[in-house]
Structure 1
Amino acid sequence: MWNGSASITEAVQIMAATDLMQSLLPRRTSRPALGGGRHWVWGSGFVAALVLAPVLALIWQALQGSDGLWAHLWAYVLRPALGQTTVLLLGVGLIVIVLGTALAWLVAAHDFPGRKVLDWALLLPLAVPSYIIAFVYLELLHPLGPVQELLRAILGYDNPRDFRLPDIRSMSGAILLLGLVLYPYVYLPVRAMFAMQAAGLLEAGRMLGCTRTHLFARLALPLARPAIAVGASLALMEALNDIGASEFLGVRTLTVSIYTTWVTRSDLPGAAQIALVMLVVVAALVALERFARRKQRFAGGAQRIRPLLPERLTGLRGWAALALGALPVVLGFGAPLFWLLSEAVGRIGEAGISPQLWAEMRATLGLAAAATAAVLAGGMVVAFAARLWPGGTTATLGRLASLGYAMPGTVVALGVLVPVAGLDRMIDQGAQMLLGFGTGLVLIGSGAALVYAYVVRFLAMSVGGIDSGFAQIPRALDHAARSLGDGPGASLRHVHLPLLRPALVAAALLVFVDTMKELPATLLLRPLGVETLATHLYSEAARGTYEDGAIAALAIVAAGILPVIALARIGRRNGAGRRP
């Protein structure tokens, strides 16, 4: 069965594929484990080439720019964008590490009223994309919005000039809102680490005179450092990928700079050069994550591990713990959901759901379904090739095929545009020569380019999930199928696919929802005249008509709740028998 609780850590292991030195220099050659099936290895190589092509195209496009262009970009675009990106990442990293680790210790090491509900509810902010929380809080905290109006009424002020809160459109506002959405990336792996720590280790510390606070600071926290590094790296990747929240809140990050340089200034080489700098930042984040968990090993027999006994908090302490734990859920999920519900209900009551919104829902679902099918197919080819021919070659191909997860959506979109546009020109010229008429931009205009970008961006989810599913299937079943005359394809159909169904469903769910939420790549590569729910919301927020985007935002949040529920259920199932 698919180990869903490991999905966060697997994602960062996938991101570590950016360390190409290790990937491109395998120490051993592949040896067939089950015999035959070499064409699956060639298929895996083809999938890896499809993922690697946008990176190579990006480098080629960046080289088209002149030295003077690079100097201009560095002076007027890159330097301020790099500075603001650094400040944003440092602030978001601090919030997610402190908040995620503290909440994980609160839930894992204490028992108080509502702990079981809080255990999974703390994952709910994952359902709210960062651009939606910015969209909501810009309206809620507007000087004429409901929060400040209520505060002025309570304090006796009539004029907004007499009392107003600090402007949410700022670097501090962006750091706070992104931290509220992204802390679950740290909370989830760290909570699992705390839950799996042997009680004997902590009891030994108590016998040596350590208080509960000292146990956390001197024993539990150092043991959880690898999980903290993993979660924080993933959260920072998401912050770096953000375009909507940063632009709405007035923060000029590298992602926003790529978008404005490409779309507003029509400077493709300049955007490619900024994207290369962004890839350097990504590589630095991955290297920092590896450095933070270097030489970290935890040895112990799982059969002998006795889980940590939570400290019972009663009375005022218990309710205070519940209130503190619920605050991030309320701010990161409850308040935005309540506002979206109220605005959506009001909007539907006044004007109903417009035909345009229905068309955008169909476009969103169609693109997500096509991308999910392609991602699952590609992931199956890569994972099954590694199953048939385990070793350095297929491991390297798997890492290269998973490389896109480490690239922000704007970088992927920019890299995809170059080869796809070239292929479109070749198809158009061939049609003119052979048929006497041109085809235009058939790949970009049909949405195929956008689906390709989704595949590059999210293939890692499929590879990681399916590979985990294969790991749970004994190889004896493969040998039994081969002894009965089944080749690799037949054994895949008759043996593996039925057993991989949970892994495939879980991977499909994650990919489908993430493609629905993806804004940067969709914004840059969608066909002319086609809008999705995410781009519709972006357009409404850019115009300041927040109430018109509430229905689209609510649909995206509702879809995002599905994988969160799945993660919570899997976490409870994996934790069964460990919790007291």
Structure 2
Amino acid sequence: MLIPLLRLLRIPVLLLVAAFLLLPVLAVVGSWAQWDAVSSGILREMAATVLPEYVLTTIGLSLMVGLGVVAVGVPAAVLVTVFDFPGRRSFEWLMLLPLAMPAYVTAYAYTDFLQFSGPFQSALRTMFGWEGRVFPEIRSVWGAAWVFSFSLYPYVYLLARTALAERAPQLMEAARLLGATLPRRLAEVALPLARPAIAAGTALALMEVLADFGVVSYFGVQTFTAGIYKAWLSMDNRMAAAQLATGLLVLVVAVLWMEQRAQRRMRFAGTATARASSSEARPIVLSGRRCIVAWVLCVMPFLMGFVLPVAFMLRPLAADWSVLPWDRFLVWAWNSVRLGGVTALLALGIALLLAASVRRTPGLLTRGVVQVASLGYAIPGAVIVVGLLLPVGWVQATWPETRVGYLMTATVLGLLWAYLVRFSSVALQSVQSGYARLPMSLDESARMLGSGSFRLLTQVHWPLLRRAGMAAALLVFVDVMKELPATIVLRPFNTDTLAVVAYQLARDERLGEAALPSLALVAVGLLPVILLSRTLRKSSL
């Protein structure tokens, strides 16, 4: 009786999951159908004044960050894959450490050290007798580009390194035997092989830039995300905020298309060149001056993206322990851990449901729901917040007795919904990669022995997927701990998280107090980086 009922409910459940994950985007796009005089007046006024600045600043910042992550990540990837020098094995995982640093934490650290009243400029004025500012203002577009470049370059480094490690040494060895010089081998063999991976990594970094709120808000950079929050919170007009969010959504879709196109080219390049591989190829050994240059190019990324920000945050932390809110820190940490743990379990459940459905019945419906869930991570938190609160406000105004507004804003339900829309794709990708390693013969054998779908999932699939499932839950947990835009707006009263408190304290120039929650977020972020480095080390053996 139970099995036929589950089969009957499978399609409604999948449709419900799709609606649950797609509603924010549909609400934002549908806001144009609810045109009113007030929102149109606000948009016309913004179009005549600040909207061009939002567009130009967003595009300019994206271009600067794109060039920055390529300039930092590509040389590092080439050095650790194509060449051999002392310390190369250590640099392979050290350059992943900036992934543990939320970009807004890096922004707080550099601001505390480099601002006018910070120790760097104060020391220069004291030593040389200079007056006034001796360093450019860090809270600017170039400062934001600096922070993003050294926080997000691991996306380019990781994908380019993977692409180069598979093919570059073998083909460069073949080019050497044909008489090509080292510069020519790098320019005509290594870099063309890594070009799709570089494009994919750059697109991932740009999606993070478009979705960011912490850095641009703290630095006062007027991007699309800042404009959305101004229209919503300062001008108190949700329609104008939603219609601005569609512009940001268009930019994200364009970057996502570029990333998917690059991923397809990566697969094509891999199949095309795999036949040319040779296990006899060895990296090029560097010595002398070249080895020193390699060391400098490898030390700078993780020094600027991890070591210095951590040191800058430790300085105010160690300066005065008495100002630190130790009693409230446990409350903030518990709120973060509780929200991250619940979201991780729910996201893992959704991922298992979708991945198992695709494996059992790979039809149009299941594949469509999976594609919808996979788009969530590319949707900025600002778009998700606006897309959730629009239908909630409409339902609350139409049927006040339902108390939907209270449930979505005064409890954690709205926050969990936003987290699942954004981070279910992270869990889904990990679970799908685990399923890809399970042969279909396991399913066929289990069905021949009389196992139904539920028993197949719990007794056959899950024991083999446990490691991938735990990795998926860990990644979602860490992402929720660091998430800022949706948490700021949707959190209930007395539910501040470490990310929100760090942002608020830094905004109030209480950087000494902000150091404690910021460093806690960095410590938590180290967990997936360690997991990733161990996985890469095993795959390279």
Q: Same fold (TM over 0.5)?
A: yes
Q: Is residue 542 from structure 1 mapped to residue 507 from structure 2 by the alignment?
A: yes
CA distance in 1, matches of 2:530, 2:278: 28
Deviation at residue 522 of structure 1 after TM alignment = 0.7
The verdict on how the C-alpha distance between 1:225 and 1:400 changes in structure 2, with shifts beyond 3 A counting, is same
Letter in 2 for 1:374: L
Q: CA deviation at 1:212?
A: 1.5
> In structure 2, what is the Cα distance between the partners aligned to 1:213 and 1:49?
53
CA distance in 1, matches of 2:214, 2:19: 30
Identical positions, percent: 38
Quote how far apart the aligned CAs of 1:143 are: 1.6
Tell me the residue number matched to 2:451: 486
User: Which stretch shifts more, 334-343 or 222-231?
Assistant: 334-343
Name the structure 2 match of 1:137: 110
For the pair 1:43 / 2:16, whether they are aligned, the reply is no
Query: Which of 148, 154, 162 is matched with 1:184 structurally?
Result: 154
Q: Structure 2 vs 1, CA of residues 40 and 572 (structure 1 numbering), >3 Å: closer, same or farther?
A: farther
| Pairwise CA distance, 1:93 | 0.4
Aligned pair 1:387/2:359, yes or no? yes
CA distance in 2, matches of 1:209, 1:74: 59
CA contact (8 A) 1:421 1:444 kept: no
1:443 pairs, out of 395, 408, 421, with 408
Residues 310 and 496 from structure 1, CA distance in 2 versus in 1: closer, same or farther, beyond 3 angstroms? same
Q: Evaluate the alpha carbon distance shift between residue 95 and residue 414 of structure 1 in structure 2; reply closer, same or farther with a 3 A threshold.
A: same
The CA distance in 2 between the partners of 1:83 and 1:439, in whole Å, is: 38
Contact 2:393/2:405 (8 A) holds in 1: no
- Residue in 1 aligned with 2:47? 74
Query: Please, which of 197, 211, 221 is the counterpart of residue 181 of structure 2?
Result: 211
Query: Which residue of the other structure, out of 166, 188, 204, is the alignment partner of 1:196?
Result: 166
Cα shift at 1:41: 4.4
**TM-score, structure 1 as length reference:** 0.87
> 1:350-383: CA deviations, max 9, x gaps?
2454322221111111111111111111111111
Asked if residue 250 in structure 1 is aligned to residue 250 in structure 2, the reply is no
Q: For the Cα contact (< 8 Å) 2:204–2:259, is it kept in 1?
A: no
| Aligned residue number for residue 67 of structure 2 | 94
- The farther-off stretch of 125-134 and 68-77 is 68-77
For 1:365, which of 337, 353, 360 is the aligned residue? 337
Q: Does 1:406 align with 2:378?
A: yes
CA distance in 2, matches of 1:468, 1:293: 16
User: Deviations along 1:317-336, whole A, 9 cap, x unmatched?
Assistant: 32332122111111110011
Q: Deviations over 1:197-233 (max 9, x none)?
A: 0544222212332212211111111111111111111
2:519 to 554, 564, 568: 554
1:329-368 correspondence to structure 2 within 5 Å: 329-347=302-320, 349-351=321-323, 353-368=325-340
1:146 to 105, 119, 137: 119
Unaligned runs of 5+ in 2: 1-5
- Structure 2 CA distance for partners of 1:473 and 1:548, relative to 1, 3 Å: same
Contact 2:332 2:498 in 1 (8 A): yes
Q: Is the 8 A contact 2:144 2:216 kept in 1?
A: yes
Q: Which runs of structure 2 are paired with 1:96-135 in the superposition (5 Å)?
A: 96-135=69-108
**In the superposition, relative to structure 1, how do residues 407 and 483 fare at CA in structure 2: closer, same or farther (>3 Å)?**
same
**Paired position in structure 2 for 1:315:** 288
Quick check: 492-501 or 420-429, which moved more? 420-429
Alpha-carbon distance, 1:150 to partner: 2.9
Q: Which moved more, 1:492-501 or 1:205-214?
A: 205-214
Spell out, residue by residue over 1:504-559, the C-alpha distance to the aligned partner (whole angstroms, 9 max, x if none).
11111110000010111111111133211111111112111111111010101111
Equivalent residue number for residue 171 of structure 1: 141
- Structure 2 residue matching 1:197: 3-state secondary structure: helix
Kindly tell me: are residues 40 and 229 of structure 1, through their superposed partners in 2, closer, same or farther at Cα, counting changes over 3 Å?
farther
Equivalent residue for 2:241, pick from 263, 267, 271: 271
Is the 8 Å Cα contact of residues 125 and 181 (structure 1) preserved in structure 2?
Answer: yes
CA contact (8 A) 1:410 1:524 kept: no
The amino acid that maps onto 1:237 is M
Residue from 525, 546, 551 that aligns with 2:490: 525
Report if the CA contact (8 A) 1:47-1:382 is conserved: no
Distance 2:171 2:345 in 1: 46
CA contact (8 A) 2:112 2:312 kept: no
Cα 1:45/1:401, change in 2 over 3 Å: farther
8 Å CA contact 2:169, 2:283 repeated in 1: no
Q: Deviations over 1:473-510 (max 9, x none)?
A: 11111111112211000110100011101111111111
CA contact (8 A) 2:15 2:369 kept: yes
Instruction: Please tell me the root mean square deviation across aligned C-alpha atoms, in Å.
Output: 2.1
Q: Secondary structure at the match of 1:256?
A: helix
Matched to 2:538, the amino acid is R
* Whole-Å separation in 2 of the counterparts to 1:186 and 1:525: 32
- The residue aligned with 1:497 is 462
Q: Deviations over 1:229-285 (max 9, x none)?
A: 111110000011111111222210101111111112111111101100001111111
Q: Is the contact made by 1:41 and 1:385 (CA closer than 8 Å) also made in structure 2?
A: no
Indicate conservation of the 8 Å contact 1:92/1:178, yes or no: yes
Counterpart in the other structure of 1:452: 417
Q: Distance in 1 between matches of 2:111 and 2:55?
A: 25
SS at match of 2:236: coil
Q: Give the distance between the partners of 1:215 and 1:42, measured in 2 at CA.
A: 56
User: How far, CA to CA, are the matches of 2:141 and 2:265 in structure 1?
Assistant: 35
Q: Note the C-alpha offset of 1:393.
A: 2.8
Which amino acid in 2 is paired with 1:441?
Y
CA distance in 1 between counterparts of 2:280 and 2:264 reads 26
Residues 466, 439 of structure 1: alpha-carbon distance in 2 compared, 3 angstrom cutoff: closer
Q: How many residues align?
A: 530
Q: Larger deviation: 80-89 or 216-225?
A: 216-225
TM-score (norm 2): 0.93
Q: Does 1:510 align with 2:475?
A: yes
1:464 maps to 2:429: yes
Do the aligned residues in 2 keep the contact of 1:382 with 1:398 (CA within 8 Å)? yes
Q: Which residue of 2 aligns with 1:238?
A: 208
Moved more, 460-469 or 40-49: 40-49
Instruction: Name the CA distance, whole Å, in 1 between partners of 2:142 and 2:464.
Output: 48
5+ residue gaps, structure 1: 1-35, 431-437
Q: Write the letter of the residue equivalent to 1:219.
A: V
State the Cα distance separating 1:414 from its structure 2 match. Answer: 1.0
Distance 1:241 1:160, change over 3 A: farther
State whether residues 373 and 424 of structure 2, in contact with CA within 8 Å, keep that contact through their aligned partners in structure 1: yes
